[in-house]
């Protein structure tokens, strides 16, 4: 079968994916969302519980933080392509609750096929990894967010940048630190968007 060449055929192919075991327990695949041509692609870790149920990326608590940060950075989410490194929700069942569980290296690598296709189809000006899992998928190696944050990397496949995942902000309890980290996140998004607009 030929590789998908547009987002609609990509969604159909992703829905039938059995490349790793995660599809078995998840409600559904959660494909990327956004325009087929865009200046910025944002890549998160994986769908959460809300995303798994809705079939859309970044619609839960972390998604609301991302929406607010994009707005404050002067970026309309509708102009950004948003996706995840892993397309199915990985979780531990605790009673009636499903608790997020981080994807392992095998699952990230098996799903990288889909992310590579998305990048080829969307052809963004810049790809921004939100968190360590996305950075691992995009760079093919484990990296510390702090070591690359603020840089724009000119990779063979295009511009790439790294910042925190918005869920990190939800885990900070100290108000001043949370506010400072949020300001840095907004600044990252704005500066990376600007970098994508600059001529090569």
Which whole number is the average pLDDT over 171-185? 97
Q: What percentage of the chain exceeds 70 in pLDDT?
A: 98
* Domain residue limits, the chain: 7-195
Q: Does 188 have pLDDT greater than 90?
A: yes
Q: Does 117 have pLDDT greater than 60?
A: yes
Output Rg (C-alpha) for the chain, integer angstroms: 16
- Three-state DSSP at 152 gives strand
Which whole number is the average pLDDT over 129-144? 95
What single string gives the DSSP state of each residue in 48-109? -HHHHHHTSSS-SHHHHHHHHHHHHTT--GGGSEEEESS-S--EEEETTEEEE----HHHHH
Q: Is the separation of the CB atoms in 32 and 85 below 8 Å? A: no
pLDDT of residue 33: 97
pLDDT of residue 157: 80
pLDDT of residue 197: 78
| Higher local confidence (pLDDT), 96 or 108 | 108
> pLDDT tens digits for 9-45?
999 999 999 999 999 999 999 999 999 989 999 999 9
Which whole number is the average pLDDT over 105-124? 95
pTM of the model: 0.95
What's the mean pLDDT when you consider all of the chain? 94
Report the CATH number of the 7-195 domain: 3.40.470.10
> Which contiguous run of DSSP H or E holds residue 185?
helix 175-197
Which whole number is the average pLDDT over 86-103? 92
Model confidence at 153, pLDDT cuts 50, 70, 90, reads: very high
Q: Does 152 have pLDDT greater than 60?
A: yes
């Amino acid at each position: 079968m030929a590789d998908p060449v547009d987002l609609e055929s990509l969604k159909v192919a992703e829905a039938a994916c059995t490349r790793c075991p995660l599809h078995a327990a998840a409600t559904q695949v959660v494909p990327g969302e956004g325009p087929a041509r865009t200046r910025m692609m944002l890549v998160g870790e994986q769908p959460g519980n809300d995303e798994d149920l809705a079939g859309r990326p970044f619609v839960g608590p972390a998604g609301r933080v991302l929406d607010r940060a994009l707005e404050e950075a002067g970026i309309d989410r509708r102009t950004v392509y948003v996706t995840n490194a892993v397309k199915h929700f990985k979780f531990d069942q605790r009673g009636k609750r499903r608790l997020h569980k981080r994807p392992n290296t095998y699952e990230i690598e098996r799903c990288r096929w889909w992310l590579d296709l998305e990048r080829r189809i969307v052809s963004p000006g810049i790809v921004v990894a939100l968190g360590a899992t996305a950075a691992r998928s995009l760079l093919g190696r484990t990296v510390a967010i702090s070591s690359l944050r603020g840089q724009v990397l000119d990779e063979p496949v295009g511009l790439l940048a790294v910042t925190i995942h918005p869920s990190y902000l939800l885990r900070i309890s100290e108000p001043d630190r949370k506010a400072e980290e949020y300001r840095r996140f907004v600044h990252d998004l704005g500066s990376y968007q600007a970098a994508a607009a600059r001529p090569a």
